[in-house]
Amino acid sequence: MERLPEYLYTPVQVQELDRRAIQDHGLPGLSLMERAGRRGWEVLLNHWPHVRRLRVLCGGGNNGGDGYVVARLARRAGLTVTVQALSDPDKLQGDAATVAKRYREEGGRIEAWNPAGLADEDVVVDALLGTGLDRPVEGRYLEALRAVKAAEVPVLAIDVPSGLNAATGAVMGEAVEAACTVTFIGLKPGLLTGAGPHCAGQLHFDDLGVPAEIYQGMKPVAALCREALRLQRLAPRQAHAHKGNFGHALVIGGDLGMGGAVRMAGEAAGRAGAGLVSLATRPAHVSAILAARPEIMAHGLEGPEGLVALLDRATAWALGPGLGQDPWGQALWDVAMQTDHPCVLDADALNLLARAPRPCPNAVLTPHPGEAARLLGVSTAEVQADRLDAARRLVERYQAVVVLKGAGSVIAAPDGGLRLATAGNPGMASGGMGDVLTGVVLGLLAQGIAPAEAAEIGVLVHARAADRAAEAGQRGLLAGDVLDALRAEVNP
């Protein structure tokens, strides 16, 4: 992926930035639009250097205006260009009306929307709706979005894939699934989470040359996970380091039949650099774990007795992988939740927490959308409709650092900080991936990294390792493959 700016702004904020650039800094809106269209055209040529036939679908606002600029440049370059307007082009206003006129003055024609021949185009430019989307798509727009999808033609989306809510990453009825998107002035969070990564495809950014001052005083709604933080916190070790410097990680979980989860979390904690790793699990799992991973100290527990001593020795602990919600897991939960070392709560620990909500100021919670829904008492669809807001509400309710997993993981901290991960891939949708993330975050906590930073770095390390492991293919990627790839990511 292209290098993207660190800070994210909502569509409404981007419209305000746009206004500042034009009104406060005297940048003509028309030159911004011309530059947006030119960047669109450049990205298009870069992706599809052999394109001959182009369909440009233009909406009735300024996003459509960007489309007319692309169309004009494509005609000049000798392409066969069909422009179709979804709203009456004679009702265009301002800069959009001007660029449509320029397009016509060079001999370009504007047709009404018509799906005929769509599948024969080399590329479709989606200039229907951008940051001005304010309601679910319906009518002609809906028909067009469906026809584009059905035609299976590659799409370049201008600014935002039409129909995607760029604030939240939710689909407003129907949305374009673009091969790539070129977005302007501010990176919008909806492009990076929920349905956003799927709809946007490869993301390109251009600030349209607006001066840095316009961003001043505008508080970003979120930011990307910091690569620089990963490099800083995972700097090379000192030559005289010993294992006591890197903490003792304890993973609690693995009820009968679920020993794999706790073992993977433990291994991940070790791969993330914890000095020592202990597991507290059902006695039935101990010998298999020791045979496979003799570096780990595996303790068999029939009940909570003995857990206090293990917790006392740990620098940080994680509860949840394979824990179950039966009396065994519940009893371990009751004991562990008395201690105040930094911890990770995952899987069934989150389900137990949802049953008896309480503040967890030392914890990192790592829910997937279903667990997040239970923690908030809402549906999974409601969580996915606005993942940033769901993460924020989880922080408020549980006073913990929260990692809301799923495409575009969101990390939310009690200080109000929101971070988004751009690394990761759909190969990660397989069993055990969450256990590995739990272990990575735990391993970082054990080394003394503060919870919010451990969550941010942990998500980055985990996703980057998954991307590395997926070089051989996403389908069939196993959590164990990600485990194997972790070491390269914690030694940057």
Ligand X SMILES: NC(=O)C1=CN([C@@H]2O[C@H](COP(=O)(O)OP(=O)(O)OC[C@H]3O[C@@H](n4cnc5c(N)ncnc54)[C@H](O)[C@@H]3O)[C@@H](O)[C@H]2O)[C@@H](O)CC1
Q: Which of residues 121-150 bind K ion (CB under 5 A)?
A: 126
Query: Which residues ranging from 322 to 351 are in contact with ligand X (CB under 6 A)?
Result: none
- In the complex with ligand X, the residue whose CB is nearer, 88 or 213, is 88
3-state secondary structure of 404: strand
Q: How far is the CB of 103 from ligand X (least distance, A)?
A: 14
Helices (H) and strands (E) in the chain, counts: 18, 18
Residue 33 or 307 having the CB closest to ligand X: 33
Q: Does 95 bind ligand X (CB under 6 A)?
A: yes
Closest CA to 165 of 384, 439, 461, 456: 384
What Rg do the C-alpha atoms of the chain give, in angstroms?
25
> Does the footprint of ligand X cover residue 158 (CB under 6 A)?
yes
Which lies closer to ligand X via its Cβ, residue 85 or residue 344? 85
Residue 178 or 444: the one with the smaller Cβ distance to K ion is 178
136, two tokens? 């679910």
CB 40, min distance to K ion, A: 10
Query: With 0-12 CB in 10 A as exposed, 13-18 as middle and 19+ as buried, what is 436?
Result: buried
**CB hemisphere CA count around 135 (13 angstroms):** 4
Count the residues of the shown chain that bind ligand X, applying the rule CB under 6 A: 29
Q: Is 29 in the site for ligand X (CB under 6 A)?
A: yes
Are 250 and 448 in contact by the 8 Å Cβ rule? The answer is no
* Residue 130 in the binding site for ligand X (CB under 6 A): yes
Nearest to 364 by CA among 407, 331, 412: 412
- Cα–Cα distance list, 265 to 48, 137, 440 (Å): 43, 43, 7
Do the bridges between strand 53-58 and strand 248-252 make them parallel or antiparallel, or are there none, so unpaired? unpaired
Task: Kindly state the smallest distance separating residue 87's Cβ from K ion, in Å.
Answer: 14
Is residue 174 close enough to count as binding ligand X by CB under 6 A?
A: no
Task: Evaluate whether 88 touches 65 at the Cβ level (below 8 Å).
Answer: no
Touching ligand X, residues 53-92 (CB under 6 A): 59-66
List the beta bridge partners of residue 103.
Answer: none
Nearer residue to ligand X within complex by CB, 64 or 169: 64
Which residues have a Cβ under 8 Å from the Cβ of 113 and sit 6 or more positions away? 57, 84, 85, 86, 140, 143, 144
Q: Please indicate if the annotation marks 322 as binding a ligand.
A: yes
In whole angstroms, how close is the CB of 45 to ligand X at the nearest point? 19
Q: Binding residue for ligand X (CB under 6 A) from 13, 17, 20, 32?
A: 32
Q: Shortest approach of ligand X to residue 201 CB, angstroms? A: 17
Q: Which two tokens stand for residue 129?
A: 């709706």
Question: Per the annotation, does 64 bind a ligand?
Answer: yes
Q: Is 133 annotated as a binding residue?
A: yes
Q: Is 346 annotated as a binding residue?
A: no
Provide the minimum distance between the beta carbon of 162 and K ion in the complex, in angstroms, as a whole number.
Answer: 4
Q: Which among 456, 462, 453 is positioned nearest to 490, based on CA atoms? A: 462
| Segment contacting K ion by CB under 5 A, of 138-146, 159-167, 442-450, 470-478 | 159-167
Instruction: Give the nearest distance from C-beta 135 to ligand X in angstroms.
Output: 5
Exactly one of 131, 162, 278, 366 binds K ion (CB under 5 A); which one?
162
Q: Which long-range contacts (CB under 8 A, 24 or more apart) does 311-315 make?
A: 311/250, 311/335, 311/336, 311/339, 311/341, 313/248, 313/250, 313/278, 314/248, 314/249, 314/250, 314/278, 314/341, 314/446, 315/247, 315/248, 315/249, 315/341, 315/342, 315/445, 315/446, 315/448
With 0-12 / 13-18 / 19 or more C-beta atoms within 10 angstroms meaning exposed / middle / buried, residue 408 is buried
By three-state DSSP, how is residue 298 classified?
strand
66 binds, among K ion, ligand X, none (CB under 5 to 8 A by kind): ligand X
Measured between alpha carbons, how far is 103 from 342 in angstroms, rounded to an integer? 61
Measured between alpha carbons, how far is 131 from 166 in angstroms, rounded to an integer?
7
> Which partner from the list K ion, ligand X, none does 126 bind, CB cut-off 5 to 8 Å by kind?
K ion
Q: Tell me which of 21, 153, 158, 360 binds K ion, using CB under 5 A.
A: 158
Which residue has the CB atom at the shortest distance from K ion?
A: 162
Q: How far is CA 184 from CA 85, 204, 364, 407, in A?
A: 22, 9, 34, 22
Q: Does 390 bind ligand X (CB under 6 A)?
A: no
| 254 labeled part of a ligand binding site | no
Binding string, residues 137-156; x marks residues near ligand X by CB under 6 A: x---x---------------
Residue closer to ligand X, measured from CB, 66 or 453:
66
The footprint of K ion (CB under 5 A) covers 126, 157-158, 162
Annotated binding residues for K(+), written as ranges, equal: 63, 126, 162
Annotated binding residues for (6S)-NADPHX, written as ranges, equal: 62-66, 130-136, 141, 159, 261, 322, 368, 435
Annotated binding residues, written as ranges, equal: 62-66, 126, 130-136, 141, 159, 162, 261, 322, 368, 405-409, 434-435
The footprint of ligand X (CB under 6 A) covers 18, 29, 32-33, 36, 59-66, 95, 129-137, 141, 158-160, 184, 208
